[in-house]
């Protein structure tokens, strides 16, 4: 057995049921795929297969988490947020409800996706799009209305207030372009 997958003699794969450790709360409308491990988390939304959610992670009602994802301790996936496959979100990050995160994204600790342009108002919620293969450093703040292009890198502590083109590296407050990955 490897990675919660059991191989039958004829080569067919079957996922084992999700392991529910202590102190998990599963809402009445929660949908959870097989092969994952949940410990001390709250799930009200949809969680894909082979996901790992650590203590205090909260997937709110209406949020969607793809397959093979990891949410660290105390991560909040807010109502309406959509997260693709193979996404890693480290501890204490908050993903707003207007956020769409594509596949193969890495998000560091304490990253905040703030869907209000001024950081205060909640009357106009702006979308945030993180395209495939993006890496976001710890403590970054992503402000509403921005798109981070495929393969871009956001430095630790950066405050992203503008769109980031694909493959570029941005750092600072406010974030600015310093180089390219491609």
pLDDT tens-digit map of 98-111: 899 999 999 999 99
| pLDDT score of 13 more than 60 | no
| pLDDT score of 20 more than 80 | no
Are β-strands 147-148 and 128-130 bridged in parallel, bridged antiparallel, or unpaired?
Answer: parallel
Total-model pTM: 0.86
User: Burial code of 56-86, b = ≥16 C-beta within 10 A, e = fewer?
Assistant: bbbbbebbbbbbbbbbbbbbbbbebbbbbbb
pLDDT tens-digit map of 62-106: 899 999 999 999 999 999 999 999 999 999 999 988 899 999 999
Class of domain 16-173: mainly beta
End-to-end CA distance of the chain: 38
pLDDT at 122: 61
Question: Over the Cα atoms of the chain, what is R_g?
Answer: 17
| Site of tokens 């994204």 | 105
| pLDDT score of 4 more than 50 | no
The mean pLDDT of 118-134, rounded to a whole number, is 81
């Amino acid at each position: 057995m490897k990675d919660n997958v059991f191989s039958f003699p004829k080569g067919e794969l079957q996922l084992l049921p999700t392991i529910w450790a202590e102190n998990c709360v599963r809402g009445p409308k929660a949908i959870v795929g097989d092969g994952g491990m949940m410990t001390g988390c709250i799930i009200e939304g949809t969680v894909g297969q082979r996901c790992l959610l650590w203590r205090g992670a909260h997937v709110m009602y209406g949020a969607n988490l793809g397959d093979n994802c990891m949410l660290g301790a105390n991560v909040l996936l807010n109502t309406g947020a959509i997260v693709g496959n193979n996404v890693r979100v480290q501890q204490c990050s908050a993903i707003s409800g207007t956020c769409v995160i594509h596949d193969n994204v890495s998000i560091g600790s304490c990253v905040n996706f703030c869907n209000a342009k001024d950081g205060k108002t909640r009357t106009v919620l702006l979308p945030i799009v993180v395209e495939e293969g993006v890496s976001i450093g710890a403590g970054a703040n992503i402000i509403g209305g921005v798109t981070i292009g495929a393969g871009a890198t956001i430095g630790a502590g950066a405050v992203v207030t503008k769109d980031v083109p694909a493959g570029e590296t941005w750092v600072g407050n406010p974030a600015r372009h310093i180089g390219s990955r491609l």
